[in-house]
Amino acid sequence: MIDIFLNHLEFEKRYSAHTLTAYKSDLRQYVAFLHQTYENLSTEKASHLHIRSFMAQLMDEGISSRSIQRKLITLRSYYKFLLQENTITINPLLRVQSPKTPSRLPAFIEVNEMEKLASGPTVSGFSLLRNELIVQMLYHTGMRLSELKNLKTDNINLTKCELKVLGKRNKERIIPFTEELQRSITQYLIEKKTVPEANTEFLFVLDHGKPVYEKFIYRIVTSALSLITTSEKKSPHILRHSYATHLLNNGAKINAIKELLGHSSLAATQIYTHNNIEQLKKAHKSSHPRA
């Protein structure tokens, strides 16, 4: 049933490869626990007590409440599928509560720090131009790492300054970009022609011409951010957080940011409605009668 469930997610729900890998890992861990602790108990016969025991073991192992919550999301989806397939008659997750997780504001890079990287092109040569453009594009568009990796050259309209990305569950969206980024892309494409056997379908390629991969992009971003910020988080996703935060702080409407980020619900975007202390001070100073 797990194989059938994963095929359902891949071919009917069109989940990303990254999400499928996470679901598969969570379910394997759960199955291994049932087999080892309850003498090969099947997932179909497991009750809410077995699931609670699984959660307790994860806690004993020092697994964070946020990670446990994610594993429960996997199990909820799985048992909901079993119920739809009439494999079970009662969903055991109905009697299982998720552990409380502390609210966490998304980390982001300050505008003055991003300005050290976001103005370009400032280098020459294919490799340096590509590396700089990767960082610029993540910040200028707010796209996900997987979306950048899979970005097609034909999906960029330099005349209109807009590009089309394929997001989660194969949902397409259009993202506008600045003339500054337009110049960087143009110069990069010129340099790309000098790379022997460069893949023409995908925008970003390695020095030998094959498409870039996620770990390569991650290394490029981490290296670049290490030069401008002391923040512990230096992943590509922090550039997405920075993009959304800076848009909101400069007056963009939350619904517009939702569409730009490709969120399916407004709740996912509302994490960016936090304000830093300087904005609170400005609001207080301009609005309070005694300020």
The answer on 143 and 254 residing in a single domain is: yes
Cβ-based neighbour number of residue 49 at 10 Å: 11
- Known catalytic residue at 183: no
The one catalytic residue among 52, 164, 263, 274: 263
The answer on 162 and 90 residing in a single domain is: no
The answer on 261 and 127 residing in a single domain is: yes
The answer on 87 and 122 residing in a single domain is: no
Question: What distances in angstroms separate CA 246 from CA 101, 242, 250, one per listed residue?
Answer: 26, 6, 6
Q: Tens digit of pLDDT for each residue in 163-187?
A: 999 888 788 999 999 999 999 999 9
The answer on 118 and 142 residing in a single domain is: yes
The answer on 262 and 144 residing in a single domain is: yes
The percent of residues in the chain predicted with pLDDT above 90, rounded, is 67
The one catalytic residue among 52, 76, 237, 274: 237
Instruction: Establish if 211 belongs to a structural domain.
Output: yes
Boundaries of domain holding 174: 111-276
Rounded to an integer, the average pLDDT of 101-114 is: 77
- Known catalytic residue at 284: no
pLDDT range class, residue 94, cuts 50, 70, 90: very high
User: Token pair for residue 52?
Assistant: 């609670």
Q: Are 153 and 201 in contact (CB under 8 A)?
A: yes
The answer on 70 and 152 residing in a single domain is: no
Instruction: Establish if 75 belongs to a structural domain.
Output: yes
Of the ranges 32-36, 76-80, 120-124, 252-256, which one carries the lowest mean pLDDT score? 120-124
- Known catalytic residue at 272: yes
The answer on 116 and 91 residing in a single domain is: no
The one catalytic residue among 71, 234, 240, 246: 240
- pLDDT reading at 120 higher than 60: no
Instruction: Establish if 221 belongs to a structural domain.
Output: yes
Alpha helices in 38-149 (DSSP H): 48-60, 65-84, 111-118, 126-141, 145-149
Rounded to an integer, the average pLDDT of 1-29 is: 92
The one catalytic residue among 48, 80, 168, 173: 168
Rounded to an integer, the average pLDDT of 184-207 is: 95
Last residue of a domain, one of 68, 95, 122: 95
Instruction: Establish if 245 belongs to a structural domain.
Output: yes
The answer on 203 and 69 residing in a single domain is: no
The answer on 91 and 151 residing in a single domain is: no
The one catalytic residue among 144, 192, 234, 246: 144
pLDDT of residue 216: 96
68 compared with 229, residue with greater pLDDT: 68
Instruction: Establish if 18 belongs to a structural domain.
Output: yes
- CA contacts within 13 A on the Cβ side of 81: 18
Instruction: Establish if 282 belongs to a structural domain.
Output: no
Last residue of a domain, one of 60, 95, 130: 95
The answer on 207 and 145 residing in a single domain is: yes
Instruction: Establish if 186 belongs to a structural domain.
Output: yes
Q: What is the CATH number of the domain that holds 144?
A: 1.10.443.10
- Known catalytic residue at 210: no
pLDDT range class, residue 99, cuts 50, 70, 90: confident
The answer on 50 and 25 residing in a single domain is: yes
- Give how many domains the chain has, as a whole number: 2
Last residue of a domain, one of 71, 95, 119: 95
Instruction: Establish if 288 belongs to a structural domain.
Output: no
Give the type of residue at 165.
Answer: V
- Known catalytic residue at 168: yes
pLDDT of residue 115: 83
Q: Are 33 and 68 in contact (CB under 8 A)?
A: no
Q: What is the CATH number of the domain that holds 47?
A: 1.10.150.130
